[in-house]
Amino acid sequence: MPDLKEDIRQLTRLLDQMRVINRVSSALGLSLLLDDIHLLMLSALVSPRGLGYSRALLLTHDDKAACLDGRLALGPLTEDEALEFDRMVEEEESAIESISQRLASVDQVDGAAHRAALFDMANDLKASTVWVSTFQSSASVSPLSAAVRAIHWPCGRREECHCDLFRPAADKNTAVRFERSRLQSPLPSPLDEILDEVFVVIPIVTRKGPRAFAIADRKFRGRPIDETDMHILEWFRNQSSLAFENAELFTHLSAAMNDLRELDQLRSNFLSIISHELRTPLTAMLGFCELVLDGRAGPLAARQAELLRRAMSRGGLLSDMINDLLKLAEIDAKGFIDLEMEEVDPLLAVMDVIEKLEPRRAPKNITIEPDVSDGPPAPIHTNAKALERILYHALDNAVKFSPAGSRIDVRFEKMKDKGRILVVDCGCGIRPDSLRRIFDPFYQADGRLTRRHEGIGIGLTLTKRLVDAVGGELDIVSEPGKGTT
């Protein structure tokens, strides 16, 4: 019988340890902020429902202040306080369960306000669940946390902080048990006033090296730190190190994401402001040129009229670029494009764009031929202005990169309930590495200042956004020297 009772005690202890491991693993696994992880680690170390130590310290290095900063947490100091701790945890868990049951019975429509209030109550309780967050301000006193106070330990550079106390744990990357009577040198203040005769040091190590040290003892518990405890602490070290690494990565990625959002917002604001400031005077310049060209400012010689036409043509191209910039800035600011859909004749849209491209096409003697050999295409459900802009950029690119005297084909295909328009040229084609980035804003396959083809690299970006907005698909197939479709 005595052996059976001992086996039961061992099994009970093992089950308790498994519950602790599951509880701590769940909490650390859901935490992505370093400050939360600091509190969870200390809570897990001193909680009677955790690892059951009397005191726990967590020290991290402050590179700017050249010191070890951290927190000291005291768990329940007596058996009565530990019992009170358990009672409060059970009451809170019971309250959470009661609220969860009431939430399930609340009508989701008529009781929306009541349901929201219950959710707030549940969230408040869960946020203060005792074993997870036992920490009050340093001035408060409760049976759950007798004290939490800041630790400030000047020590110089990070490498110098790996003193005799920490170096064995850091070098071995494992929890180490110390006895004060066997230390070669006395403990530095404030550790000398805090720690018991026997204590453990737990290094928290990530790929960047040692990030923190947790120290714990059992001064008020009357139970020694044995080999089973060391095995559990080794598991705790692994889980905490992983949580630290995830939190550091999350913090780094969050900062990088915020920086990118700020830069993107600055870019959008810059584009919008510059575009507006350019469009207003350019519109006036083109208007004056048109008045002069119409003879309203007096007669013009043939050479003067030709030069004005060229100036208006180039000004028109610049105006198109500015309009594209404004549209792109508008899309980036809103995050979407609100378009009214209607039935549009694709052939008529193509013919209108061909007419607008006449000043670009004629000097290169390029022919643009819509293929209607199988009859005129059926109307498609889209936005007329969006389709016109899509076709304009597709055909403008084809004209830009096609050799003089060549031909561009526009084909119409029927695909189930959708229509497809193909623009086929015999230009220089696109390299595979450039094709992957073809829709990136301001990207150009030839980014040299001496490139032959003009543009700022947003035409296809805007085209892709417009195609997505009307629910279509945009595919580009190309090989160097074999043209593009």
Cβ contacts of residue 286 below 8 Å, gap of 6+?
312, 315, 316, 319
Q: How far apart are CA 319 and CA 327, in angstroms?
A: 12
CB atoms within 10 A of CB 356: 16
DSSP symbols for 355-408:
HHTHHHHGGGT-EEEEE-TT-PPPPEEE-HHHHHHHHHHHHHHHHHHSPTT-EE
Task: Report DSSP state, residue 47.
Answer: -
The dihedral region occupied by 441, where left means phi > 0, alpha psi between -120 and 50, and beta the remainder, is: beta
How far lies 62's CA from each of 57, 159, 180, 184, in Å?
Answer: 16, 12, 27, 27
What pLDDT does residue 213 have? 87
Residue 15, H or E segment: helix 2-29
Helix (H, G, I), strand (E, B) or coil at 212: strand
Look at residues 345, 344, 283, 356 and name the one whose alpha carbon lies nearest to residue 319: 283
Q: How far apart are CA 165 and CA 182, in angstroms?
A: 12
The dihedral region occupied by 410, where left means phi > 0, alpha psi between -120 and 50, and beta the remainder, is: beta
* Domain ranges within the chain, ordered by starting residue: 15-245, 337-485
Beta strand 67-74 with 55-62 is antiparallel
Q: How far apart are CA 388 and CA 383, in angstroms?
A: 9
Q: Cβ(234)–Cβ(174) under 8 Å?
A: yes
337-485 has which fold? Heat Shock Protein 90 (3.30.565)
Alpha-carbon Rg for the chain, nearest whole angstrom, is 36
Q: Number of helices (H) and strands (E), helices first, in the chain?
A: 13, 11
At position 337, the amino acid (one-letter code) is I
What pLDDT does residue 164 have? 58
Helix (H, G, I), strand (E, B) or coil at 151: strand
302-334 and 227-293 helices, crossing angle to 10°: 150
What pLDDT does residue 451 have? 45
Superfamily name with CATH number, domain 15-245: GAF domain (3.30.450.40)
* Residue 485: both structure tokens together: 């479709």
* Residue 150: both structure tokens together: 């800041």
What pLDDT does residue 464 have? 84
Cβ contacts of residue 81 below 8 Å, gap of 6+?
143, 146
Q: How far apart are CA 147 and CA 89, in angstroms?
A: 19
Q: How far apart are CA 319 and CA 312, in angstroms?
A: 10
Q: From the centroid of its chain, how far is CA 103?
A: 33
Q: How far apart are CA 285 and CA 485, in angstroms?
A: 37
Q: Cβ(73)–Cβ(135) under 8 Å?
A: yes
- Residue found by looking up tokens 């110098």 in the block: 160
Task: Report DSSP state, residue 190.
Answer: T
What pLDDT does residue 448 have? 40
How far lies 124's CA from each of 92, 96, 114, in Å?
Answer: 11, 10, 16
What pLDDT does residue 146 have? 40
Helix (H, G, I), strand (E, B) or coil at 63: coil
pLDDT in tens, the chain (485 residues): 556 766 666 666 666 667 667 767 777 776 777 877 887 788 788 777 678 788 888 887 666 666 667 777 777 666 677 677 667 666 655 665 665 566 566 554 445 555 455 444 444 433 333 333 333 333 333 333 343 455 555 555 555 554 556 777 777 788 889 888 888 777 776 677 777 888 999 988 888 878 888 888 887 666 788 888 888 888 889 888 888 888 888 888 888 888 888 887 777 777 667 767 777 787 888 888 888 888 887 788 888 888 888 787 777 777 777 777 777 767 766 666 777 888 888 889 888 888 888 878 888 888 888 888 787 888 888 888 888 888 888 888 888 888 888 888 888 888 777 788 888 888 787 887 777 777 777 666 554 433 455 556 677 888 888 888 888 888 888 888 777 87
Q: Cβ(200)–Cβ(222) under 8 Å?
A: no
Residue 70, H or E segment: strand 67-74
What pLDDT does residue 128 have? 33
Residue 25, H or E segment: helix 2-29
